[in-house]
Amino acid sequence: MATSYFHLCPIMLTSGSIIEPGNFGRVIETYRPNSIGPLAVRELTFEVARLKNFPDKPSRFNSIFLFPTLQHAQAQLFRFDISSLIYEVELTNPSQNLFHGNMGLVHEGFPNEHIPAIPHLYNLAAQYWTGLDNIQAESEFLSSSSIRILRHHEHRVEASELTDLQNNGNSTASISTSSSS
């Protein structure tokens, strides 16, 4: 049996649907000069570090982002985009390169406003691209394989729970879920 992962996507899809990698990079490549902001600077710095030191790792621009467990996907859903849907998925080509990284390093802030941004981001990128051996709270997987939707996981959370999540940082407290095909 194939290994399954979890993926966040804002579009309603049915079981069997295929999602191609690279949408994240496609979106960043559409940025106009006046809209290049911290996200683009961060991702370009991570890409330069990858190209220079870890060229065998899949590019974040050409990959699909996956989570190892439903709980990891839920945590990211409530952290970044409550409007997305959670899908359990499988790789269509498991032989494609799969990278396991610490996304906490990608989203880490600056220790102060006076630190030089690019060297700090480059250091975080070098740590990120060394990868992880074990599942951790901030685990994410990158793959250049397309993915197949196995099932949609419903999620519901009460407004009071969202407040608790924001205040306590506990991303998986009392979240109701169910699977649908």
Q: What is the value of pTM for the model shown? A: 0.84
Q: Is 30 helix (H, G, I), strand (E, B) or coil?
A: coil
Task: With both helix axes pointing from N to C terminus, report the angle between 38-53 and 117-129 in degrees, rounded to the nearest 10.
Answer: 50
pLDDT at 82: 84
Q: Please state, in angstroms and rounded to a whole number, the distance separating the CA atoms of residues 105 and 33.
A: 26
What are the CA-CA distances from residue 40 to residues 28, 62, 96 (Å)? Answer: 7, 14, 26
Q: What is the mean pLDDT of each run of 10 residues along the chain (181 residues)?
A: 89 97 93 87 96 97 97 90 92 96 94 93 98 97 98 72 47 44 52
Sequential DSSP letters for 138-157: TEEEEESS-EEEEEEEEEE-
Query: Cα–Cα distances in Å, from 95 out to 30, 80, 91, 140, 145?
Result: 30, 30, 9, 18, 8
